[in-house]
Protein backbone atom coordinates (compact mmCIF):
# COMPACT_ATOMS: atom_id res chain seq x y z
CA UNK A 1 0.00 0.00 0.00
CA UNK A 2 2.71 2.42 -0.97
CA UNK A 3 0.40 4.93 -2.51
CA UNK A 4 -1.55 5.33 0.71
CA UNK A 5 1.59 6.23 2.61
CA UNK A 6 2.48 8.72 -0.05
CA UNK A 7 -0.94 10.30 0.14
CA UNK A 8 -0.75 10.49 3.90
CA UNK A 9 2.63 12.12 3.68
CA UNK A 10 1.41 14.70 1.19
CA UNK A 11 -1.53 15.60 3.35
CA UNK A 12 0.17 15.72 6.72
CA UNK A 13 3.76 16.79 6.15
CA UNK A 14 4.43 20.43 6.94
CA UNK A 15 6.11 20.92 3.59
CA UNK A 16 3.27 19.25 1.74
CA UNK A 17 0.83 21.01 -0.45
CA UNK A 18 -2.06 20.50 1.90
CA UNK A 19 -0.67 22.95 4.42
CA UNK A 20 -0.08 25.64 1.89
CA UNK A 21 -3.46 25.46 0.29
CA UNK A 22 -6.21 27.71 1.50
CA UNK A 23 -9.29 26.05 2.91
CA UNK A 24 -7.26 22.97 3.67
CA UNK A 25 -9.17 20.06 5.16
CA UNK A 26 -9.27 20.65 8.91
CA UNK A 27 -9.47 17.01 9.89
CA UNK A 28 -6.17 15.25 10.13
CA UNK A 29 -5.68 11.55 9.85
CA UNK A 30 -6.06 10.56 13.42
CA UNK A 31 -5.40 7.36 15.22
CA UNK A 32 -6.63 4.12 13.65
CA UNK A 33 -8.48 2.12 16.28
CA UNK A 34 -8.44 -1.62 16.68
CA UNK A 35 -11.05 -3.58 18.56
CA UNK A 36 -8.53 -4.68 21.21
CA UNK A 37 -7.63 -1.10 21.94
CA UNK A 38 -11.24 -0.14 22.36
CA UNK A 39 -11.91 -3.09 24.61
CA UNK A 40 -9.08 -2.07 26.90
CA UNK A 41 -10.35 1.47 27.27
CA UNK A 42 -12.74 1.59 30.22
CA UNK A 43 -15.21 4.34 30.94
CA UNK A 44 -14.15 6.71 33.66
CA UNK A 45 -16.36 8.28 36.31
CA UNK A 46 -15.45 11.71 35.07
CA UNK A 47 -18.00 12.84 32.54
CA UNK A 48 -15.69 15.29 30.89
CA UNK A 49 -13.06 12.62 30.34
CA UNK A 50 -15.57 10.29 28.73
CA UNK A 51 -16.87 13.09 26.52
CA UNK A 52 -13.34 13.88 25.47
CA UNK A 53 -12.61 10.26 24.59
CA UNK A 54 -15.73 9.87 22.53
CA UNK A 55 -15.29 13.21 20.84
CA UNK A 56 -11.77 12.25 19.93
CA UNK A 57 -13.04 9.05 18.38
CA UNK A 58 -16.20 10.25 16.68
CA UNK A 59 -16.39 14.00 17.10
CA UNK A 60 -15.23 14.87 13.61
CA UNK A 61 -18.16 13.02 12.03
CA UNK A 62 -20.82 15.44 10.91
CA UNK A 63 -23.63 13.05 11.80
CA UNK A 64 -22.41 12.65 15.35
CA UNK A 65 -24.79 14.44 17.73
CA UNK A 66 -24.02 15.40 21.34
CA UNK A 67 -26.56 16.90 23.67
CA UNK A 68 -25.47 18.09 27.14
CA UNK A 69 -27.96 18.77 29.91
CA UNK A 70 -28.42 18.62 33.67
CA UNK A 71 -30.18 15.83 35.48
CA UNK A 72 -32.39 17.00 38.36
CA UNK A 73 -33.21 20.38 39.80
CA UNK A 74 -31.24 20.34 43.08
CA UNK A 75 -27.64 19.23 42.93
CA UNK A 76 -28.00 18.65 39.23
CA UNK A 77 -25.69 16.15 37.66
CA UNK A 78 -24.22 17.04 34.29
CA UNK A 79 -25.20 14.45 31.73
CA UNK A 80 -24.86 13.97 28.03
CA UNK A 81 -26.42 11.85 25.33
CA UNK A 82 -24.82 10.83 22.07
CA UNK A 83 -26.27 9.37 18.95
CA UNK A 84 -25.66 9.19 15.25
CA UNK A 85 -28.07 11.28 13.26
CA UNK A 86 -30.20 9.29 10.84
CA UNK A 87 -29.75 6.03 12.70
CA UNK A 88 -32.34 6.64 15.38
CA UNK A 89 -35.97 7.45 15.65
CA UNK A 90 -36.02 11.16 16.60
CA UNK A 91 -39.64 11.00 17.71
CA UNK A 92 -38.86 8.21 20.12
CA UNK A 93 -35.77 10.02 21.35
CA UNK A 94 -37.81 13.10 22.21
CA UNK A 95 -40.77 11.31 23.74
CA UNK A 96 -39.23 8.26 25.33
CA UNK A 97 -35.83 9.50 26.45
CA UNK A 98 -35.38 13.25 26.47
CA UNK A 99 -38.77 14.17 27.89
CA UNK A 100 -38.58 11.94 31.02
CA UNK A 101 -34.99 12.96 31.61
CA UNK A 102 -35.62 16.68 31.34
CA UNK A 103 -38.96 16.71 33.13
CA UNK A 104 -37.74 14.45 35.91
CA UNK A 105 -37.20 17.33 38.31
CA UNK A 106 -40.96 17.45 38.77
CA UNK A 107 -40.92 14.22 40.75
CA UNK A 108 -37.47 13.99 42.31
CA UNK A 109 -35.23 16.85 42.73
CA UNK A 110 -31.79 15.39 43.46
CA UNK A 111 -29.57 14.35 40.59
CA UNK A 112 -28.11 11.40 42.49
CA UNK A 113 -31.57 10.11 43.33
CA UNK A 114 -32.53 10.30 39.69
CA UNK A 115 -29.38 8.39 38.77
CA UNK A 116 -30.40 5.69 41.28
CA UNK A 117 -33.83 5.55 39.72
CA UNK A 118 -32.28 5.37 36.30
CA UNK A 119 -30.06 2.56 37.43
CA UNK A 120 -32.99 0.57 38.78
CA UNK A 121 -34.79 0.73 35.49
CA UNK A 122 -37.03 3.70 35.96
CA UNK A 123 -37.33 7.06 34.30
CA UNK A 124 -36.69 6.02 30.72
CA UNK A 125 -39.64 4.46 28.95
CA UNK A 126 -37.82 2.75 26.11
CA UNK A 127 -37.86 -1.00 26.56
CA UNK A 128 -34.42 -2.00 25.45
CA UNK A 129 -31.81 -0.52 27.73
CA UNK A 130 -28.58 -1.82 29.20
CA UNK A 131 -25.30 -0.63 30.59
CA UNK A 132 -21.78 -1.06 29.29
CA UNK A 133 -18.50 -0.18 30.87
CA UNK A 134 -15.96 -0.17 28.03
CA UNK A 135 -15.60 1.77 24.88
CA UNK A 136 -15.23 -1.47 23.00
CA UNK A 137 -18.88 -2.16 23.66
CA UNK A 138 -20.05 1.41 23.58
CA UNK A 139 -18.74 2.57 20.21
CA UNK A 140 -20.37 -0.18 18.07
CA UNK A 141 -23.64 0.50 19.89
CA UNK A 142 -23.70 4.18 19.11
CA UNK A 143 -22.68 3.44 15.52
CA UNK A 144 -25.45 0.95 15.02
CA UNK A 145 -28.20 3.28 16.16
CA UNK A 146 -28.39 3.35 19.94
CA UNK A 147 -28.55 6.38 22.17
CA UNK A 148 -25.81 6.61 24.80
CA UNK A 149 -26.44 8.33 28.09
CA UNK A 150 -23.50 9.35 30.24
CA UNK A 151 -23.90 10.87 33.70
CA UNK A 152 -21.27 12.60 35.79
CA UNK A 153 -19.85 10.36 38.47
CA UNK A 154 -21.20 7.16 36.96
CA UNK A 155 -18.58 4.98 35.27
CA UNK A 156 -21.00 3.09 33.09
CA UNK A 157 -22.75 4.20 29.97
CA UNK A 158 -26.45 3.58 29.57
CA UNK A 159 -27.25 2.27 26.14
CA UNK A 160 -30.81 2.86 25.06
CA UNK A 161 -31.91 1.22 21.85
CA UNK A 162 -33.80 3.64 19.70
CA UNK A 163 -33.11 2.32 16.25
CA UNK A 164 -35.02 4.01 13.53
CA UNK A 165 -33.22 4.13 10.26
CA UNK A 166 -34.85 4.28 6.88
CA UNK A 167 -35.69 0.90 5.35
CA UNK A 168 -37.62 -0.45 2.42
CA UNK A 169 -41.07 -1.76 2.90
CA UNK A 170 -41.48 -5.45 2.20
CA UNK A 171 -41.53 -5.85 -1.59
CA UNK A 172 -42.78 -8.53 -3.94
CA UNK A 173 -40.19 -11.05 -5.08
CA UNK A 174 -38.25 -9.64 -7.98
CA UNK A 175 -36.27 -12.63 -9.21
CA UNK A 176 -38.15 -15.63 -7.86
CA UNK A 177 -41.65 -14.83 -8.94
CA UNK A 178 -44.56 -17.13 -8.39
CA UNK A 179 -48.11 -17.28 -9.58
CA UNK A 180 -49.32 -19.05 -6.51
CA UNK A 181 -47.85 -18.44 -3.10
CA UNK A 182 -47.04 -15.61 -0.73
CA UNK A 183 -45.91 -12.36 -2.29
CA UNK A 184 -43.49 -11.12 0.37
CA UNK A 185 -39.75 -11.05 -0.10
CA UNK A 186 -36.79 -10.26 2.07
CA UNK A 187 -35.37 -6.79 2.45
CA UNK A 188 -31.99 -5.48 3.53
CA UNK A 189 -32.83 -5.41 7.23
CA UNK A 190 -31.89 -8.56 9.07
CA UNK A 191 -34.41 -8.20 11.89
CA UNK A 192 -37.28 -7.78 9.45
CA UNK A 193 -36.17 -10.83 7.49
CA UNK A 194 -36.01 -12.90 10.65
CA UNK A 195 -39.46 -11.71 11.61
CA UNK A 196 -40.82 -12.87 8.25
CA UNK A 197 -39.56 -16.36 9.01
CA UNK A 198 -40.59 -16.35 12.64
CA UNK A 199 -44.11 -15.32 11.79
CA UNK A 200 -44.41 -18.55 9.82
CA UNK A 201 -42.82 -20.72 12.49
CA UNK A 202 -44.06 -19.67 15.92
CA UNK A 203 -42.22 -22.41 17.74
CA UNK A 204 -39.59 -22.30 20.45
CA UNK A 205 -37.59 -24.71 18.34
CA UNK A 206 -36.81 -22.07 15.75
CA UNK A 207 -33.31 -21.02 16.71
CA UNK A 208 -31.80 -17.77 15.50
CA UNK A 209 -28.16 -17.30 16.45
CA UNK A 210 -26.39 -14.15 15.39
CA UNK A 211 -22.68 -13.74 14.97
CA UNK A 212 -20.67 -10.82 13.67
CA UNK A 213 -18.62 -11.39 10.57
CA UNK A 214 -16.18 -8.86 9.19
CA UNK A 215 -13.48 -7.05 11.13
CA UNK A 216 -14.55 -3.65 9.88
CA UNK A 217 -18.14 -4.14 8.97
CA UNK A 218 -19.16 -6.38 11.90
CA UNK A 219 -22.02 -7.57 9.78
CA UNK A 220 -24.68 -9.44 11.65
CA UNK A 221 -25.07 -12.91 10.26
CA UNK A 222 -27.90 -15.04 11.58
CA UNK A 223 -27.85 -18.82 11.51
CA UNK A 224 -31.39 -20.12 11.58
CA UNK A 225 -32.41 -23.71 12.06
CA UNK A 226 -35.18 -25.80 13.50
CA UNK A 227 -34.12 -27.59 16.62
CA UNK A 228 -34.94 -31.28 16.55
CA UNK A 229 -35.03 -31.44 12.76
CA UNK A 230 -31.75 -30.04 11.51
CA UNK A 231 -28.89 -32.30 12.38
CA UNK A 232 -26.65 -30.90 15.06
CA UNK A 233 -23.56 -31.73 13.10
CA UNK A 234 -24.75 -29.59 10.23
CA UNK A 235 -25.54 -26.61 12.46
CA UNK A 236 -22.18 -26.96 14.15
CA UNK A 237 -20.43 -27.09 10.79
CA UNK A 238 -22.22 -23.99 9.53
CA UNK A 239 -21.37 -22.15 12.73
CA UNK A 240 -17.73 -23.10 12.46
CA UNK A 241 -17.38 -22.20 8.82
CA UNK A 242 -18.96 -18.81 9.44
CA UNK A 243 -16.81 -18.23 12.52
CA UNK A 244 -13.67 -18.97 10.54
CA UNK A 245 -14.32 -16.14 8.12
CA UNK A 246 -11.81 -13.39 8.76
CA UNK A 247 -12.37 -10.55 6.35
CA UNK A 248 -12.76 -6.81 6.54
CA UNK A 249 -16.12 -6.22 4.99
CA UNK A 250 -19.14 -8.35 4.09
CA UNK A 251 -21.15 -6.49 1.51
CA UNK A 252 -23.55 -9.20 0.53
CA UNK A 253 -24.33 -12.82 1.19
CA UNK A 254 -22.26 -13.70 -1.88
CA UNK A 255 -19.14 -13.08 0.22
CA UNK A 256 -20.32 -15.64 2.74
CA UNK A 257 -21.29 -18.10 0.03
CA UNK A 258 -17.77 -18.10 -1.33
CA UNK A 259 -16.22 -18.61 2.07
CA UNK A 260 -18.32 -21.57 3.12
CA UNK A 261 -18.43 -23.65 -0.07
CA UNK A 262 -17.06 -27.18 -0.05
CA UNK A 263 -15.47 -26.92 -3.49
CA UNK A 264 -14.45 -23.32 -4.07
CA UNK A 265 -13.35 -23.91 -7.64
CA UNK A 266 -16.46 -25.69 -8.83
CA UNK A 267 -18.56 -23.68 -11.27
CA UNK A 268 -21.69 -25.17 -9.71
CA UNK A 269 -23.40 -23.37 -6.84
CA UNK A 270 -23.51 -25.40 -3.65
CA UNK A 271 -25.84 -23.11 -1.76
CA UNK A 272 -29.49 -22.29 -2.32
CA UNK A 273 -30.07 -18.56 -2.60
CA UNK A 274 -33.56 -17.24 -2.13
CA UNK A 275 -35.46 -14.06 -1.55
CA UNK A 276 -38.62 -15.86 -0.49
CA UNK A 277 -39.46 -16.48 3.16
CA UNK A 278 -41.65 -19.46 2.27
CA UNK A 279 -38.70 -21.12 0.55
CA UNK A 280 -36.62 -20.62 3.68
CA UNK A 281 -39.32 -22.08 5.89
CA UNK A 282 -39.76 -25.07 3.58
CA UNK A 283 -36.04 -25.73 3.65
CA UNK A 284 -35.85 -25.34 7.43
CA UNK A 285 -38.58 -27.93 7.77
CA UNK A 286 -36.54 -30.28 5.60
CA UNK A 287 -33.67 -29.94 8.04
CA UNK A 288 -31.59 -27.39 6.22
CA UNK A 289 -29.92 -24.39 7.80
CA UNK A 290 -30.54 -20.82 6.64
CA UNK A 291 -27.99 -18.05 6.82
CA UNK A 292 -29.20 -14.47 6.84
CA UNK A 293 -26.79 -11.66 6.23
CA UNK A 294 -27.59 -8.13 7.27
CA UNK A 295 -27.95 -5.70 4.37
CA UNK A 296 -28.79 -8.52 2.00
CA UNK A 297 -32.26 -9.25 0.71
CA UNK A 298 -31.23 -12.83 -0.01
CA UNK A 299 -30.93 -15.74 2.36
CA UNK A 300 -28.50 -18.60 1.90
CA UNK A 301 -29.62 -22.14 2.57
CA UNK A 302 -27.29 -25.09 3.03
CA UNK A 303 -26.81 -27.79 1.98
CA UNK A 304 -27.72 -26.94 -1.58
CA UNK A 305 -27.52 -30.04 -3.70
CA UNK A 306 -28.25 -30.11 -7.43
CA UNK A 307 -31.85 -31.26 -7.34
CA UNK A 308 -32.86 -28.65 -4.82
CA UNK A 309 -31.52 -25.98 -7.15
CA UNK A 310 -33.97 -27.09 -9.83
CA UNK A 311 -36.95 -26.74 -7.51
CA UNK A 312 -39.17 -23.75 -7.03
CA UNK A 313 -41.26 -23.22 -3.91
CA UNK A 314 -44.30 -22.90 -6.05
CA UNK A 315 -43.98 -26.57 -7.00
CA UNK A 316 -45.34 -27.58 -3.63
CA UNK A 317 -48.48 -25.48 -3.95
CA UNK A 318 -49.88 -27.35 -6.92
CA UNK A 319 -51.18 -30.85 -7.23
CA UNK A 320 -48.31 -33.23 -7.85
CA UNK A 321 -48.99 -33.89 -11.56
CA UNK A 322 -48.12 -30.40 -12.62
CA UNK A 323 -44.94 -29.98 -10.55
CA UNK A 324 -43.72 -33.36 -11.78
CA UNK A 325 -44.25 -32.24 -15.35
CA UNK A 326 -42.64 -28.87 -14.72
CA UNK A 327 -39.65 -30.39 -12.95
CA UNK A 328 -39.01 -32.79 -15.81
CA UNK A 329 -39.44 -29.86 -18.16
CA UNK A 330 -36.90 -27.87 -16.16
CA UNK A 331 -34.43 -30.74 -16.22
CA UNK A 332 -34.86 -30.95 -19.99
CA UNK A 333 -34.51 -27.19 -20.29
CA UNK A 334 -31.35 -27.37 -18.19
CA UNK A 335 -29.89 -29.86 -20.67
CA UNK A 336 -31.07 -27.82 -23.63
CA UNK A 337 -29.58 -24.66 -22.19
CA UNK A 338 -26.32 -26.50 -21.66
CA UNK A 339 -25.90 -28.37 -24.92
CA UNK A 340 -28.21 -27.06 -27.64
CA UNK A 341 -25.70 -24.73 -29.37
CA UNK A 342 -22.94 -27.31 -29.15
CA UNK A 343 -25.25 -30.05 -30.43
CA UNK A 344 -26.19 -27.83 -33.34
CA UNK A 345 -22.55 -27.16 -34.13
CA UNK A 346 -21.56 -30.81 -33.75
CA UNK A 347 -24.37 -32.26 -35.80
CA UNK A 348 -24.33 -29.77 -38.63
CA UNK A 349 -20.57 -29.96 -38.95
CA UNK A 350 -19.80 -33.58 -38.29
CA UNK A 351 -22.88 -35.76 -38.30
CA UNK A 352 -25.03 -34.62 -41.17
CA UNK A 353 -26.36 -38.13 -41.61
CA UNK A 354 -28.24 -37.72 -38.34
CA UNK A 355 -30.49 -34.92 -39.53
CA UNK A 356 -33.65 -35.71 -41.49
CA UNK A 357 -33.04 -34.90 -45.14
CA UNK A 358 -35.60 -32.15 -45.41
CA UNK A 359 -34.32 -30.39 -42.33
CA UNK A 360 -30.76 -30.72 -43.53
CA UNK A 361 -31.64 -29.16 -46.87
CA UNK A 362 -33.38 -26.42 -44.91
CA UNK A 363 -30.27 -25.81 -42.84
CA UNK A 364 -28.10 -25.80 -45.93
CA UNK A 365 -30.45 -23.34 -47.59
CA UNK A 366 -30.49 -21.12 -44.52
CA UNK A 367 -26.72 -21.10 -44.40
CA UNK A 368 -26.28 -20.17 -48.06
CA UNK A 369 -24.04 -17.13 -48.13
CA UNK A 370 -23.23 -17.09 -44.42
CA UNK A 371 -19.51 -16.30 -44.34
CA UNK A 372 -18.60 -17.93 -41.02
CA UNK A 373 -18.30 -21.56 -40.06
CA UNK A 374 -21.14 -22.77 -37.87
CA UNK A 375 -19.15 -22.89 -34.62
CA UNK A 376 -17.92 -19.36 -35.08
CA UNK A 377 -21.43 -18.24 -35.84
CA UNK A 378 -22.63 -19.95 -32.67
CA UNK A 379 -19.92 -18.32 -30.55
CA UNK A 380 -20.68 -14.95 -32.10
CA UNK A 381 -24.38 -15.22 -31.45
CA UNK A 382 -23.96 -16.51 -27.93
CA UNK A 383 -21.59 -13.68 -27.08
CA UNK A 384 -23.99 -11.20 -28.65
CA UNK A 385 -26.80 -12.65 -26.59
CA UNK A 386 -24.78 -12.45 -23.38
CA UNK A 387 -23.87 -8.87 -24.20
CA UNK A 388 -27.52 -8.01 -24.67
CA UNK A 389 -28.41 -9.63 -21.41
CA UNK A 390 -25.65 -7.84 -19.52
CA UNK A 391 -26.64 -4.56 -21.11
CA UNK A 392 -30.24 -5.20 -20.20
CA UNK A 393 -29.31 -5.58 -16.53
CA UNK A 394 -26.92 -2.65 -16.39
CA UNK A 395 -28.99 -0.15 -18.29
CA UNK A 396 -31.23 2.31 -16.51
CA UNK A 397 -34.70 0.83 -16.55
CA UNK A 398 -36.35 3.42 -18.84
CA UNK A 399 -33.72 2.72 -21.51
CA UNK A 400 -33.38 -0.99 -20.85
CA UNK A 401 -36.57 -2.01 -22.54
CA UNK A 402 -35.85 -0.02 -25.67
CA UNK A 403 -32.40 -1.51 -25.93
CA UNK A 404 -33.56 -5.07 -25.46
CA UNK A 405 -36.15 -4.63 -28.19
CA UNK A 406 -33.63 -3.01 -30.49
CA UNK A 407 -31.06 -5.64 -29.67
CA UNK A 408 -33.20 -8.71 -29.89
CA UNK A 409 -35.47 -7.86 -32.77
CA UNK A 410 -33.81 -5.34 -34.97
CA UNK A 411 -30.21 -6.44 -34.72
CA UNK A 412 -31.23 -10.10 -35.00
CA UNK A 413 -33.38 -9.44 -38.03
CA UNK A 414 -30.77 -7.25 -39.65
CA UNK A 415 -28.01 -9.77 -38.99
CA UNK A 416 -30.04 -12.48 -40.67
CA UNK A 417 -30.85 -10.29 -43.65
CA UNK A 418 -27.25 -9.23 -43.97
CA UNK A 419 -26.34 -12.92 -44.08
CA UNK A 420 -24.01 -12.64 -41.11
CA UNK A 421 -25.87 -15.34 -39.24
CA UNK A 422 -28.35 -17.94 -40.37
CA UNK A 423 -31.93 -17.75 -39.10
CA UNK A 424 -31.62 -21.21 -37.61
CA UNK A 425 -28.74 -20.08 -35.42
CA UNK A 426 -30.90 -17.24 -34.14
CA UNK A 427 -33.57 -19.76 -33.21
CA UNK A 428 -31.04 -22.00 -31.47
CA UNK A 429 -29.53 -19.15 -29.49
CA UNK A 430 -32.88 -17.65 -28.59
CA UNK A 431 -34.30 -20.95 -27.43
CA UNK A 432 -31.16 -21.66 -25.44
CA UNK A 433 -31.51 -18.31 -23.77
CA UNK A 434 -35.13 -18.91 -22.91
CA UNK A 435 -34.34 -22.38 -21.59
CA UNK A 436 -31.82 -20.83 -19.21
CA UNK A 437 -34.55 -18.78 -17.59
CA UNK A 438 -36.53 -21.84 -16.53
CA UNK A 439 -33.90 -22.66 -13.92
CA UNK A 440 -35.30 -21.31 -10.66
CA UNK A 441 -31.88 -20.67 -9.15
CA UNK A 442 -30.19 -17.87 -11.02
CA UNK A 443 -26.74 -18.90 -9.80
CA UNK A 444 -27.21 -22.28 -11.49
CA UNK A 445 -28.32 -20.44 -14.61
CA UNK A 446 -25.06 -18.52 -14.59
CA UNK A 447 -23.14 -21.80 -14.40
CA UNK A 448 -25.00 -23.12 -17.41
CA UNK A 449 -24.33 -19.96 -19.37
CA UNK A 450 -20.62 -20.28 -18.71
CA UNK A 451 -20.29 -24.00 -19.35
CA UNK A 452 -21.94 -23.57 -22.73
CA UNK A 453 -18.80 -22.04 -24.17
CA UNK A 454 -16.28 -24.83 -23.48
CA UNK A 455 -18.92 -27.25 -24.72
CA UNK A 456 -19.22 -25.34 -27.96
CA UNK A 457 -15.46 -25.36 -28.42
CA UNK A 458 -15.18 -29.10 -27.89
CA UNK A 459 -18.12 -29.60 -30.23
CA UNK A 460 -16.39 -27.55 -32.89
CA UNK A 461 -13.21 -29.56 -32.47
CA UNK A 462 -14.47 -33.09 -32.02
CA UNK A 463 -18.14 -33.16 -32.89
CA UNK A 464 -20.53 -35.24 -30.82
CA UNK A 465 -17.58 -37.08 -29.35
CA UNK A 466 -16.38 -33.78 -27.91
CA UNK A 467 -19.81 -32.99 -26.55
CA UNK A 468 -20.01 -36.40 -24.90
CA UNK A 469 -16.54 -36.08 -23.39
CA UNK A 470 -17.42 -32.67 -21.97
CA UNK A 471 -20.73 -33.87 -20.60
CA UNK A 472 -19.00 -36.85 -19.06
CA UNK A 473 -16.45 -34.56 -17.46
CA UNK A 474 -19.24 -32.41 -16.04
CA UNK A 475 -21.07 -35.49 -14.78
CA UNK A 476 -17.93 -36.83 -13.10
CA UNK A 477 -17.40 -33.47 -11.49
CA UNK A 478 -20.98 -33.38 -10.24
CA UNK A 479 -20.61 -36.87 -8.81
CA UNK A 480 -17.57 -35.82 -6.83
CA UNK A 481 -19.13 -32.66 -5.42
CA UNK A 482 -20.54 -32.39 -1.93
CA UNK A 483 -22.43 -29.62 -0.24
CA UNK A 484 -21.98 -29.66 3.53
CA UNK A 485 -21.39 -33.38 3.38
CA UNK A 486 -24.42 -34.14 1.23
CA UNK A 487 -23.56 -35.74 -2.14
CA UNK A 488 -24.37 -33.17 -4.80
CA UNK A 489 -26.44 -35.48 -6.98
CA UNK A 490 -28.43 -37.09 -4.20
CA UNK A 491 -31.07 -38.45 -4.15
CA UNK A 492 -30.48 -39.57 -7.75
CA UNK A 493 -27.08 -40.95 -6.96
CA UNK A 494 -26.63 -42.27 -4.33
CA UNK A 495 -30.22 -43.22 -4.90
CA UNK A 496 -32.80 -43.20 -2.19
CA UNK A 497 -36.47 -43.65 -2.80
CA UNK A 498 -37.79 -41.25 -0.19
CA UNK A 499 -35.64 -38.49 -1.52
CA UNK A 500 -36.48 -39.29 -5.11
CA UNK A 501 -40.13 -38.56 -4.40
CA UNK A 502 -39.15 -34.92 -4.09
CA UNK A 503 -36.48 -34.50 -6.75
CA UNK A 504 -37.04 -34.85 -10.48
CA UNK A 505 -40.61 -35.70 -9.72
CA UNK A 506 -42.85 -34.62 -6.89
CA UNK A 507 -44.98 -37.17 -5.12
CA UNK A 508 -48.16 -36.06 -3.34
CA UNK A 509 -47.60 -34.47 0.05
CA UNK A 510 -49.40 -37.26 1.87
CA UNK A 511 -47.05 -39.86 0.43
CA UNK A 512 -43.89 -38.10 1.50
CA UNK A 513 -44.06 -39.10 5.11
CA UNK A 514 -40.33 -39.00 5.81
CA UNK A 515 -37.93 -36.12 5.72
CA UNK A 516 -34.95 -36.33 3.34
CA UNK A 517 -32.59 -39.03 4.49
CA UNK A 518 -29.40 -37.22 3.60
CA UNK A 519 -30.35 -34.24 5.77
CA UNK A 520 -32.18 -35.67 8.73
CA UNK A 521 -30.91 -38.67 10.67
CA UNK A 522 -33.41 -38.87 13.53
CA UNK A 523 -36.97 -37.70 13.84
CA UNK A 524 -37.55 -38.35 10.18
CA UNK A 525 -41.30 -38.62 10.16
CA UNK A 526 -42.90 -35.35 9.15
CA UNK A 527 -46.55 -36.35 9.25
CA UNK A 528 -48.92 -38.88 10.71
CA UNK A 529 -49.72 -42.22 9.18
CA UNK A 530 -52.49 -42.69 6.62
CA UNK A 531 -52.68 -39.11 5.54
CA UNK A 532 -54.01 -40.05 2.15
CA UNK A 533 -57.52 -38.65 1.88
CA UNK A 534 -60.19 -41.35 1.83
CA UNK A 535 -63.86 -41.16 1.13
CA UNK A 536 -65.88 -41.37 4.34
CA UNK A 537 -66.96 -44.83 5.36
CA UNK A 538 -70.39 -45.34 3.84
CA UNK A 539 -71.68 -47.76 6.43
CA UNK A 540 -71.73 -45.03 9.06
Partner 1 sequence: MVLLQKKLLAGLALLLLVNLTGCWDSREVEQTGFVLGVGVDRGKEGSIVVIAQTVIPQPPGVGGNAAGGTMGQDTFHNWYSVGETMFDAVRNLTQKSPNRLFWSHNKIYIISEKLAREGLMDVMDFVERDPEFKQSAWILIAKENLEEIMNASSNMKQAPAQVLADIIDVRDRNSKYAVSSLGDFLQQLGSDKIQAYTAGVTFYQGLMEEQNTVALPNQEKPRAKELRVMDTAVFKQDKLVGWLNQEESRGLLWLQGKVKQGLLVLHMPNHKMVFEIFNSSTKLEPVIKEGQLIMKVKVKVSGNIGEMHPGTHMNEKHLQETEAIIAKTVTKQILSAVQRAQELNTDVLGFAAVVHRTYPKLWQQELAQQWSEIFPNLEVEVDVEGRVRGTGLITDPLQPK
Closest approach of partner 1 to the CB of residue 376, in Å? 7
Q: Is position 380 an interface residue for partner 1 (rule: CB under 8 A)?
A: no
Distance CA 333, CA 519 (A): 27
- Count, residues near partner 1 per rule CB under 8 A: 28
Contact 333, 438 (CB under 8 A): yes
Residue 340 to residue 219: CA distance in whole angstroms: 43
Q: For partner 1, which stretch binds (CB under 8 A), given 312-320, 351-359, 504-512, 516-524?
A: 351-359
Residue 360 interacting with partner 1 (CB under 8 A) = yes
Q: Between residues 310 and 459, which has the closer beta carbon with respect to partner 1?
A: 459
Q: How far apart are the first and last CA of the chain?
A: 85
Residue selected from 24, 216, 361, 402 as contacting partner 1 according to rule CB under 8 A: 361
From candidates 64, 376, 442, 500, binder to partner 1 by CB under 8 A:
376
- Judged by CB under 8 A, the chain residues 414 through 453 that form the site for partner 1 are 423
Least CB distance to partner 1 at residue 356 (A)? 9
Nearer to partner 1, 62 or 368 (CB): 368
Site for partner 1 contains 118 (CB under 8 A)? no
456-475: which residues touch partner 1 (CB under 8 A)?
Answer: 457, 460-461, 463
Residue 464 CA to residue 342 CA, distance in Å, equals 8
Number of H helices and E strands in the chain, helices first, is 22, 12
Rounded Cα distance between 142 and 161, Å, is: 9
Q: Which 3 state secondary structure label does DSSP give 277?
A: helix
Query: 320 or 375, CB closer to partner 1?
Result: 375
- CB neighbourhood size of 83 (10 A): 24
Part of the chain binding partner 1 (CB under 8 A), chosen from 31-39, 296-304, 334-342, 345-353: 345-353
| Contact (Cβ atoms closer than 8 angstroms) between residue 476 and residue 502 | no
Q: Does 413 interact with partner 1 (rule: CB under 8 A)?
A: no
Options 292, 350, 484, 488; binder of partner 1; rule CB under 8 A: 350
DSSP string, 85-147: TTTB-HHHIIIIIIHHHHGGGGT--BHHHHHHHHHTT-S---S-EEEE-BHHHHHHHHHTTEE
Q: Among 24, 102, 365, 475, which residue interacts with partner 1 (rule: CB under 8 A)?
A: 365
The verdict on 120 binding partner 1 (CB under 8 A) reads: no
Decide if residue 367 touches partner 1 (CB under 8 A). yes
- Phi first, then psi: what are they for 309, rounded to 5°? -80, -15
Contact set with partner 1 (CB under 8 A): 348-350, 352-353, 357-370, 373-376, 423, 457, 460-461, 463
Amino acid sequence: MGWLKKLKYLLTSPKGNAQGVKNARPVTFGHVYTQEELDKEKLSSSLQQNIDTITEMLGFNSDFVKREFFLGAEQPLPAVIFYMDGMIDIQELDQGIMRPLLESYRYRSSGSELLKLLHSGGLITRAEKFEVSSFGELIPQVLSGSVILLVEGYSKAIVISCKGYEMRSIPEPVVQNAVRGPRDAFIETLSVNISLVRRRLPTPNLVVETIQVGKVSSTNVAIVHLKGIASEGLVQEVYQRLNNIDIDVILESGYIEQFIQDSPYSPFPQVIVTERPDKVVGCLAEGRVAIFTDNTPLALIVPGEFMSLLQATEDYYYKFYFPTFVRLLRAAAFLVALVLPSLYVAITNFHQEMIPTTLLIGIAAARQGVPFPAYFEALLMELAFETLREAGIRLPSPVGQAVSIVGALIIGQAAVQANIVSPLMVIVVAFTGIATFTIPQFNLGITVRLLRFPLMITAALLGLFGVMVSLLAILLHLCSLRSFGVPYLSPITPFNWQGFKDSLVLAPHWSRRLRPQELVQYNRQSMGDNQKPQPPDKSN
